[in-house]
Amino acid sequence: MTQKTALIWFRQDLRLKDNPALHYATTNGYAVIPVYILDDESAAQWKMGGASRWWLHQSLQSVNSDLREHMIFRAGKADDVLTELIKDTGADAVFWNRCYEPWRVKRDKDIKQSLKDDSIEVETFNGSLLWEPWEILKDDGTPYRVFTPYYRKGCLKKKEPRNPMPRPERITYADHGTDTGQLGDLELIPSIKWYEQMETFWTPGENGAHARLETFLEDGFKGYKEDRNRPDRENVSRISPHIHFGEISPHQVWETIRAYGEINSIPEKDVDCYCSELGWREFSYYLLYHFPHITWENFQPKFNDFPWNAQESQDLERWQKGQTGIPIVDAGMRQLWQTGWMHNRVRMIVGSLLVKNLLIHWHRGEEWFWDTLVDADLASNSASWQWVAGSGADAAPYFRIFNPLTQGEKFDPEGEYVREFVPELKNMPKQYIHKPWEAGPLILKEAGVELGKDYPEPIVDLKASRERALKAFETTKKAS
DNA sequence: TGAAATGTTGGGGCG
DNA sequence: ACGCCCCAACATTTC
């Protein structure tokens, strides 16, 4: 009797541990054919951005090495590629872990149906969410729209997340005689080597993911609830790109966090706070599943007539390049450009400036983050930009406008974060590091800064632009 | 997962 | 000892 073979379609689950599709195949006696398909065509508008592609390349390299170089690499429409691979390899089954982007939900549903029509066995699994979106509903049967009741009443009261699954003890690879293709054929790495600095910050791949989490547990977990807001400290886990590509699952993170907290007597508030951040990720996916239009349409239609600024000035470009003249904002935007990542507190600050002080549409921020973040994630990115803009579910009220000075002085009190990413200000005394335009000529001279030459004048008057934003946001009140 | 304006309280200086 | 003022610190309200 010949052994049955299964294509394991890898997507955002680039790991061997706690991989439900792979686990199912190996524990049920299938010989395995791992495959990755780069399907830019189906992704359309949400084709992966540049920073994500760099990460993906590294991550695929890592998982392929763990799979003893058995991964098949293909580019093209997933349904065409799978059909061809089934023909070429003679596979009996296709297994994968589910994704939740609207374009994937639709595509995968069609693929599943057509495979079944062709008498191919298909199984799909949950490898990336602690709670399936369709399992969590209010008593009246409709989806939650506010985070706290969603998380507390909907998720936590429902059930504890499942335990992670072990790495397969043994993987039998099918002898299929089909060309595997090359990772390099996917052309994920750009010709201009802008990513060289990112290589020093990150270790993509399953091992790198676990190492990163371990570092956080030891150095940053205690005191997380307070210091998670401090971009000048190492109190956040930076696990987001690893989770996005599925190098580690939220189930593994959840379990590891709680077990470590228990054993090492980490204060409960720190443990619960970290878990609730995983909860925010779940909430974003939940919203994306139930309201797939949130990627582009205002979740709250009363924002549809909002008077956004037309794109005639250089404001957007100055924001993107970290040349707004507001130090905490420029530090964040440059951290993003250099490392593919930005501290969460600073994401809120730069977002608020773009959308409220500059009155630029949240789409522009969403697009820029999509291209530059290594953790770019359709669910989190869409939900978070709408949250900042005020148009989202459980969003910041329209009048909640961050003052980047106050935020900078509160969360980067010594100015160390600014000094790291805005080196032209590194000699400014800390009293003026967040507001160089208030420093006298002597102080500026001593710090070696000429405003407008070494470092820009502020892009907007914060007080006046705040007033302007409040007036603009009045229109949404009338529209409701 | 705000900021600014406004209101309240209470200690200390001082006549 | 007392009233008065100032003002920091905190609380509440408003946007």
| A68 within 8 A of A33, measured Cβ to Cβ | no
Beta bridge partners of A96: A9, A124
Residue A280 falls in the annotated catalytic set: yes
Cα–Cα distance between A78 and A109 in angstroms, integer?
Answer: 12
A470 touches strand C (CB under 7 A): yes
Cα–Cα distance between A377 and A362 in angstroms, integer?
Answer: 16
Tell me which of A344, A416, A420, A424 is the catalytic residue: A344
Cα–Cα distance between A111 and A94 in angstroms, integer?
Answer: 10
Mean pLDDT, contiguous 10-residue spans, chain A (480 residues): 92 98 98 98 98 98 98 98 98 98 98 98 98 97 95 94 97 96 97 93 98 98 94 97 98 98 96 97 98 97 92 90 98 98 98 96 98 98 96 89 94 96 97 93 97 96 93 81
Which pLDDT does position A417 carry in this prediction?
A: 98
Which three-class secondary structure state does DSSP give residue A441?
helix
Which pLDDT does position A234 carry in this prediction?
A: 95
Q: Tokens 């398909």 label which residue? A: A37
Which pLDDT does position A478 carry in this prediction?
A: 73
Condensed to tens digits (0 to 9), the pLDDT of residues A177-224 reads 999 999 999 999 999 999 999 999 999 999 999 999 999 999 999 999
Which three-class secondary structure state does DSSP give residue A120?
coil
Q: List the A407 CA – B10 C1' distance (angstroms).
A: 30
Strands A121-125 and A93-97: parallel
Which three-class secondary structure state does DSSP give residue A173?
strand
Q: Tokens 């010709």 label which residue? A: A191
Condensed to tens digits (0 to 9), the pLDDT of residues A256-275 reads 999 999 999 999 999 999 99
Of A234, A235, A230, A242, the residue nearest A202 (C-alpha):
A242
Residue A362 falls in the annotated catalytic set: yes
Q: List the A360 CA – B10 C1' distance (angstroms).
A: 46
Cα–Cα distance between A121 and A100 in angstroms, integer?
Answer: 21
Residue A414 falls in the annotated catalytic set: no
Of A130, A126, A149, the residue nearest A138 (C-alpha):
A149
Is 0.75 topped by the overall pTM? yes
Residues 385-424 of A with CB under 7 A from strand C: 397, 399
Tell me which of A308, A367, A403, A424 is the catalytic residue: A308
For each of the domains in chain A, give its residue range(s) and CATH number, in order of start. 5-127 (3.40.50.620), 129-161+207-290 (1.25.40.80), 301-479 (1.10.579.10)
Residue A226 falls in the annotated catalytic set: no
Residue A176 structure tokens:
């299929």
